[in-house]
Chain A
Amino acid sequence: MRVPVQLVLGAALFALFLGAALLSLVWTPFPVTDLDIAAKLAPPGGGHLLGTDHLGRDMLSMLMAGARTSIAVALVAVGIGILLGVPLGLAAAARRGSLLDEVIMRGNDLIFAFPSLVIAILITAVFGPSALNAILAIGIFNIPVFARVARGAALTVWPREFILAARVAGKGAALISAEHILPNIANLLVVQGTIQFSMGVLAEAGLSYVGLGAQPPTPSWGRMLADAQTFFYGYPRLAILPGLCIVLTVLGLNLMGDGLRDLLDPRLRRNVR
């Protein structure tokens, strides 16, 4: 089986940022909380590879630690979406047309009906801005997405004969969902996961930009963009660098999602019989 080019490219891009984030846990060129006002706005090269910001913090270290924040927030948010959304979707599919199905799907519609970023702003505004609340806000909107995908995919598996065979073997809906349905829809969930991941990165950057995400001194790409705003004419790199990081991470994840879909979805796979 040939691995699609997008997958390789996307995975490489994402691996770069993931590696940087993991490395920042143990080592960054400079501590990110170190303010060195004397060396503020230093140009790239010299002691600081990518220069320093207006408070004299090392840009490379900030970007590495910022990757950590972005990826952690998006990862946990996707996790919330999968852990809550997929069981809901499977339950709705197992009891198709029942009251339970209606309640779950109409609940999904309710969440879908609100503009996600506005609600995220509302949540963080009510409960106070923090990385944790940003995770919750983004995660809630992932639940209906995964519930829909899981339900839709599960509905196409339920009428198949091996499900009927499992029912004849006395298995209940929960066991069938876990044993037979889930493995057969996992590929779709993985693809959706990477797409939601990239949207999570974007949402976290957006929330931090308006000051509702990770709070200083925790570095964050969105926060860095907001800080760089006033210096944009004099020092455009302060905004361009974190902006580029966001774009490349999202691009990498989307490419990965496309590639995985091509790889895992047999309907899109071209094969000569």
Chain B
Amino acid sequence: MSDQKITIEFNDKVVRQFLLASVIWGAVGMLVGALIASQLNYWRLNFNLPWLTFGRLRPLHTNAAIFAFVGNMMFAGIYYSTQRLVKARLASDFLSALHFWGWQLIIVAAAITLPLGFSRGKEYAELIWPIDIAVALIWVVFAVNFFWTLARRREPSLYVAIWFYIATIVTIAILYIVNHLSVPTSAVHSYTLFGGVQDALVQWWYGHNAVAFFLTTPILGIMYYFLPKAAERPVYSYRLSVIHFWSLVFVYIWAGPHHLLNTALPGWMQTLGMTFSLMLWAPSWGGMLNGLLTLRGAWDKLRTDPVLKFFAAGVTFYGMCTFEGPLLSIKAVNALAHYTDWIIGHVHGGTLGWNGFMAAGMIYWLIPRLWNKPLHSVSLANIHFWLGTVGILLYVGAMWTSGITQGVMLNATTEGGTILAYPNFLDTLNTIRPMMLMRVIGGGLYLIGWFLLIYNLWKTVAGAQPVNGTIEVFEDVGEPVADEKMTLVGTFLNPPVAFSILGVGFSCAWMFGGDFMSIAGLIGLMLCVVLAYAHFESRGKSWAAWYDRLLVNALPFTILTVLAVAAGGLIQIIPSVISHRAANVEDRLQIPYTPLELAGRDLYVSEGCYNCHSQMIRTLVPDVLRYGDYSRLGESIYDHPFQWGSKRTGPDLARVGGKYPNIWHLRHMENPRSISVGSNMPNYPWLLTTPTDVAALPVKISVQRTLGVPYPAWTDAQIAANVDTQAKGISDDLRAAGGYVARDKQVIALIAYLQKLGKYETVAPFKAVPR
């Protein structure tokens, strides 16, 4: 090792850029949130304009909050802390700049395309395919920049924050790519590769783990760096870090199906989703404990330091949400809470409380260091904290009240349980209106707090000179010395990994094997636990020594992380994807959409109807009483993308077909309140004047055929004729009922689609499926 000392300058420019971007996009995302929350109470705020309706803006809000606000904040935190934790400047200034500008370009593209109605129709995965490719590429740029920096590190051992960053980068890459697989039909439209239940499963494997690996693990890493720094206290427990990191990344992935409880999803996956969610409670609280207990001995600083206030409250909200998550995953609780505002309250406890407060704490801590100037006003930051806290409590409290109230009303029965106590859905909606207003007030307070941060930042930074951190290091890049290097064999052939793999293998044999395999698996699992315990008690030191070695070997560490996160996804998704379609049908098979209905369905997706309407009648008595027979898997098997939905601001639509006459739908789309007094649905007047894009149908149908939907080999002319005949029928029927709309208008296609919902043919289970 050379004794030559050199000074390296960190790339803090990109940190400043990401930080400012996060602050600005955060404000944009929250403003859109405040608007759409108000729209729920005052439908006029949809302004009868397509690009300002709730269905199009809600995806903008969620995508902005996740990818623009938290994304940029995460990149700032990761880049700042990683350079210091590994004692190396970011590997490439070019890649850093490309990462920053590429990401902002993606956000701008999203902010334009989503209001225009370009959408893939899957939550938090709405962006159209060209933008998806850009996201994947920029993520690779991020990964290369990060791992290249690790490769040039002068600090051989990886700190716990880096573990979480590694897990984030590799897992998001896997999730994002798999859930965005689609076949384009044009430059702005595509159909998802998976359909029906497979698409539902992949979507919530992604959706749940986007929460895990985009909103949780990177922020835990950021907590492990910035919280001890700000508190000037040692981290509470290293071994807790180890246990909670590995259990969190392993268990999280399995829990995705808890978004699909009591639905048509096969029971074994629902059971996995619920039980793994409960198992996730302790690993999540491990992170909270390590955060809060690190503050021991620094509690007095909380009185004065806004940074620590934000961190302490943020970690507390994390603990609250990760307790609430398992609770909501219990099937009985989920039956009440799912599709209601309780879930909205739950996620905002996470985003506002955990993400938003960790972001604020980090930003207040970074500003003086990145611009070498004390914060303009500590009292303003304190006011921000209190406004934010009161805002979150009002918001979350309102949503709990609202969700439980509506859930109880929707599930209430009377007359010996034979009929619904509130058959009119709108009665339940209008009961919670005061709570919806309270939510806007809470969110508004939080937003005002954020504006205080922006003002404070502005006053501090204006006229200040940006500074880049430096460090003195020995010239040599610290390669692990020979006896610390870990081979592939060493990565796997060691007690902790071997016992883990055996344990998971035996568990799977027990869960999925036949009679004999099950028993063998259970016995094997118990033996494995006993042996592992005995070995750890007698030779625990060798486990610790191996882990110390692993920490200086970034590649083996990354490989093991990938394996830990991949297991759950593979075991849940592969059986569903490779099984013959017939196995996913039960006793009913969807009748494929006619071309006109397909065009209507694309409108349904594009307008974001799924943001408020589900298409999934659960195996619950109140659902069946309200919406009809419970949904079977086969009834959405040809749906690319699936539209089961996750929220019922309005009623379920799975069996709405044939329930009302065409004229009902026309009047309802034109002005929902002319039919449903007290409805908060936007008006859709443009559907009555905009023509349907019939020219796109031949390509769309050909793509659907590729995806396995049994369409005949129609010519373009046949498709056009088919569309025309069906459209004329609906138009004539509307005319007979006194409401004329030309047959080429979008509303005709949409009515055709809505009237098809719930149409199926009966088939013998597990056979008699065409093709």
Chains A and B belong together in one complex:
no
By a beta-carbon cutoff of 8 Å, the part of chain A in contact with chain B is none
By a beta-carbon cutoff of 8 Å, the part of chain B in contact with chain A is none
